[in-house]
Amino acid sequence: MSTRRLLTALALGGALLLGGCTGDDDGSAPADERLDAAASALEDAESFEISLSTPELPSGAKGLLSAKGVGDHSPAFEGEVTVVAGGASIGADVIAVDGKVYAKTGFAPVWAPLDPASLGAPDPAALVGKDSDSGLGSLLGATEDVEAGDQSRDGKQVLTEITGTIPGGRIQDLIPSADESADFDVTYRLTDDDELHDATLTGPFYGDADVTYTLTLDPRDEPADITAP
């Protein structure tokens, strides 16, 4: 090979190597940038259909089993919540608005004020608060050691996993009984448009035993229009 051809080949090879180092292997944006875009999309949504659940709590634990409903950034939430207290599951219709939480159960079918912290549960409106430390966009921004993972499907959607950890102090804003000193593992699944499809959070929410919560979101274009009962 002539000297000119050798230099040309080396230059092309170097350009290819540099090009391969400028982003993720599939040509998409870096994982942390994709999380930032997902957080921005959450902030721009008018409201959400939201679900947060775990299959079970550790024996003797008091806390949140599931929450499902609609919320917006005001912040406000309206839906159904199930907590575990005294070894029994208790379901209730819940409205959280203007910093207050109201519940209505089958045992007492009238709306009454509720302190969710007394049941080891969060104010469900805090899940979607734009400015709250426990708001979902804030949690995305607090994620550390971010890495892109595998791809999976939900129907026709191709989703990209992004893993990381969230300091326990931030998780405690979401679930009051969470261990403040621990790091919680998180796996997000993002759409090709960098919108959050779902997330799983695993760690010591109640004592030493690890619990996994699964969170799903479906952004909506209209406000939730939630008012106090």
Tens digits of residue pLDDT in 183-211: 999 999 999 999 999 999 999 999 988 99
Task: Supply the pLDDT for residue 26.
Answer: 55
The CATH topology of domain 31-220 is outer membrane lipoprotein receptor (LolB), chain A (2.50.20)
User: How high is the pLDDT of residue 174?
Assistant: 79
Residue 27 pLDDT: 55
What pTM, to 2 d.p., does this model score?
Answer: 0.83
- What is the block-wise mean pLDDT of the chain (229 residues), using blocks of 10 residues? 39 36 56 91 87 93 93 91 90 93 87 87 78 68 92 90 94 87 96 93 94 90 90
pLDDT of residue 9: 37
| Per-residue pLDDT tens digits for 40-73 | 888 888 898 999 999 999 999 999 999 999 998 8
Sheet of strand 157-167, all strands in order from the earlier edge strand to the far edge = 112-113, 100-104, 88-97, 76-85, 63-72, 47-53, 209-220, 196-206, 183-190, 157-167, 144-154
